[in-house]
Amino acid sequence: MHANAFPAEGVVAVQFGEQRQRAPNNFDVPAETPPRAATVVECRPVVGWSRQRGARVRGLAGRSRSVDPDAGAAAQVAAHFDALVEAGAGPEKAVRAAAVLAGCPAGVLDRTRRLRVRVLPDGRRVDGEPSGVVSPLPAPHHGVVWLERTSDVDRARSELDGVVVDRLAAAVVAALDRTWSVDPAVVELLLDPTVDQGTRATAARRLGLGEDARFAVTVGIGVPAGRRALGARIGDFDVVVEAAYQDREPFSTCSATGPAVGPVDLPLSYQQARVALRFAAVDEPGPAHVDFEALGGIPALADGCDSPAAVAETALLDRVVPMYPWALATLTAVVTEPSLRSAAVVLGVHHSTLQNRAEVLGQALGYSVAGPDGRMRLAVALALRRVRRNRW
């Protein structure tokens, strides 16, 4: 292939033994080059865009089938997707490049944003569902990318497919992060219980929330950067809306998650997350994150936390806890661990030491904290103490 076949948008330097040549940016190496394995030593990303992009991708696809997949091809694939990101390519262009490089259909699906793209190896866009090699997009994105490769491929091709799908995911995420922005005011509107359902449904569509999908609201303090995709600051708290039942990076201070609901019911998830947050431990032993659905009937304690019995029970704890520096940690471990022995392991003390401390605290409280009745009373007292302190 002639070196002037394509515009000089970027050049890849390839080292062959003692001879260093400069190849066109479709990674074709001149025919007279000695047939030895190539190692890419310098890559400069494409800074523009041209109509010859498809031809260059197909040229790279040819090279990826002939170069060592553990070195040359993988490096060239990575460099090509880096060039796509540098050029500001959108999700469809990234998917099209993956399909041509891999020689099989590729796609991306993100239902929360109503993004669905599937491209055949010849560059045509045809709808279809994820199959084959499927990889999730990293948080906070909720979607997948895939290559529709059959299982009967050799090890080299399988490894190269892994590189392609990983780089495709990175390119799609870069495009979404660059083009997708959320108005916090729309998030607030979505969570406002006084807004009618029609308005909330419109807000949900603006945010790309599928009407048949399930979402949950998390409120707290110290939201990590990776969870701000659909978020807002409401009052003193960070609030995020996320797809339900996904692993989440914890907040830095405390947080609570409401139940999974449809988009128009998100105000309920928000309100119940606020209730659950009152049971989160802040600067003291206990859970820093609380799921409302895991509390069962415990949130009812928040409604009665100002009753005379609740006030008396928490006042008793507040008198005893300052007496010993280890009191609160010991009481918390006693009610959260299945036995005193396991509580001793968590606290890092000998079993006999914990037994002595439990007896001392039982005498100060006026009831045994080691027996089943005393542990239940202590668990309620600690929960009441927490919700009375967390007036959120």
Q: Span 81-110, mean pLDDT?
A: 91
Span 126-152, pLDDT tens digits = 989 999 999 988 766 778 999 998 767
pLDDT at 154 over 80: no
Neighbours of 66 (CB within 10 A): 12
Which one, of 198, 180, 173, 200, lies nearest residue 189 by Cα? 200
d(CA 219, CA 222): 10
Span 19-72, pLDDT tens digits = 333 333 333 433 333 433 333 333 333 333 344 444 554 455 454 444 444 557
What per-residue confidence (pLDDT) applies to 174?
A: 86
Span 247-280, pLDDT tens digits = 777 888 899 999 999 999 999 999 999 999 999 9
Span 318-357, pLDDT tens digits = 999 999 999 999 999 999 999 999 999 999 999 999 999 9
**Rounded (10°) angle between helices 327-336 and 372-389:** 120
Highest mean pLDDT: which of 77-91, 110-124, 240-254, 277-291? 277-291
d(CA 15, CA 248): 44
pLDDT at 9 over 70: no
Residue 125 is classified by DSSP as B
Which one, of 392, 306, 316, 391, lies nearest residue 361 by Cα? 316
Percent of the chain with pLDDT over 70: 78
Highest mean pLDDT: which of 5-14, 88-97, 245-254? 88-97
Looking at CATH, the fold of the domain delimited by 300-389 is given as: Arc Repressor Mutant, subunit A (1.10.10)
More confident residue, 364 or 8: 364
Q: Model pTM greater than 0.75?
A: no
What per-residue confidence (pLDDT) applies to 178?
A: 72
Taking the domains of the chain in order of start, what are their residue ranges? Answer: 3-179, 184-295, 300-389
Rg (the chain; Cα; Å): 29
What per-residue confidence (pLDDT) applies to 76?
A: 86
d(CA 346, CA 368): 20
3-state secondary structure 282-337: CCCCCCCEEEHHHHCCCCHHHHCCCCHHHHHHHHHHHHHHHHCCCHHHHHHHHHHC
Would you call the peptide bond into 322 cis, given omega within 30 degrees of 0 as the criterion? no
Tell me what the pLDDT averaged over the chain comes to. 81
What per-residue confidence (pLDDT) applies to 65?
A: 47
Residue 66 is classified by DSSP as T
Q: Give the residues across from 11 on adjacent strands.
A: none
Q: Span 359-386, mean pLDDT?
A: 96
Which one, of 53, 75, 52, lies nearest residue 63 by Cα? 75
d(CA 149, CA 133): 6
3-state secondary structure (DSSP) of residue 20: strand
E runs forming strands in the chain? 12-16, 19-23, 39-43, 106-110, 115-119, 133-136, 144-147, 215-221, 231-234, 237-243, 254-257, 289-291
Span 161-214, pLDDT tens digits = 889 999 999 999 888 877 666 778 889 999 999 999 999 998 888 787 878 889
